Amino acid sequence: MLNFEREQKIVQIGNVLIGGQPGENPIVMIGTVFYAKHAALLDEKTGKIDKNLVEQELNKFTEIIEETQLQGIIDVVGSYPDALIKECEFIADNVEYPFLVDGLNDSSRIPAMEGLHEMGLLDRAILNSIDENTSEESLNKLRELGVKNAVLLTFGNKYIFPKQKLKFLKEILIPKAVKANIDNFIVDTAVLDMPSISINFETTGLVKNELGLPTGFAPANAIYGWNFVKKYGENARCGSIASIMTYCATAPSDFILFGPIKFVGCLAPAISLISGVNSYYRRRVLRKQISERTPLKVIF
């Protein structure tokens, strides 16, 4: 679907515009750092990292995002509050992109948001996430801190299929975000496993069609753990990863959590192609305005 009748909300966080009609703004590529097997993560409890390696990966990410005229966000993963705060501060000091504060649960996320509040970094920090388990106490703390940006995660044992996820979003997650006084929320339609990514495809369309909210999902965990393709070598694996990410893009997703930041070179050209042809359709066929920043201007 290349145009929705429902008006689409555009959320601005830092220098990134998330949402809108397909092709209106470039797709946002969200790359992850400090995940469990990240070579740059030396001690997950203390937040000790290999700064040189992370800087190299961030520089490459920035170079490719700028060359392809996509948009970027950094997903900062951490299980321990103090470590997560240090890692987020490092990312904020080294790139201008917004970043996800991706704690294991509220016991790591909320203290991290509190620390970022004290540092004056909440304008670029995106809580990942408000979900089924987010407590009243956590919502009150988020409101008290003045947190303005969050991911709404449509994951729950009773909310598997697209219409169930939409109901969950409307009746539980959005009211939670409103209670926490979150201004900017984006919707992650919550991937369960590889074959169920088709459910995310439909859910993304439903959310944008009925609510007009910025929406996307994260095929990363599912595809990187897919053993079948590994026997065909790294080229086949890269192609398979790119194929599922472009499937995500054509949902159409406004953002894609694509996994380890080091894979940006494998994926960004394919995503920029989808983003660029969507912009072409919007400008040439629909005669609608598109962003000044677009792959359409550089990749063809």
Check pLDDT > 90 for residue 1. no
pLDDT tens digits for range 127-165: 999 999 999 999 999 999 999 999 999 999 899 999 999
Which pLDDT score is estimated for 2? 87
Tell me, yes or no, whether 59 lies in a domain: yes
Which pLDDT score is estimated for 3? 95
Tell me, yes or no, whether 202 lies in a domain: no
Tell me, yes or no, whether 142 lies in a domain: no
For the residues 103-125, what does the mean pLDDT come to? Answer: 96
CA 90 to chain centre: 19
- What average pLDDT is seen over the chain? 96
Which pLDDT score is estimated for 197? 96
Structural domain that includes position 243? 10-131+214-295
Tell me, yes or no, whether 226 lies in a domain: yes
Tell me, yes or no, whether 143 lies in a domain: no
Tell me, yes or no, whether 261 lies in a domain: yes
Give the pLDDT band (50/70/90) at residue 221.
Answer: confident
Check pLDDT > 70 for residue 222. yes
Give the pLDDT band (50/70/90) at residue 54.
Answer: very high
For the residues 205-223, what does the mean pLDDT come to? Answer: 95
Tell me, yes or no, whether 182 lies in a domain: no
Residues with Cβ < 8 Å from 233, sequence gap 6 or more? none
Tell me, yes or no, whether 115 lies in a domain: yes
Which pLDDT score is estimated for 265? 95
Overall number of domains in the chain: 1
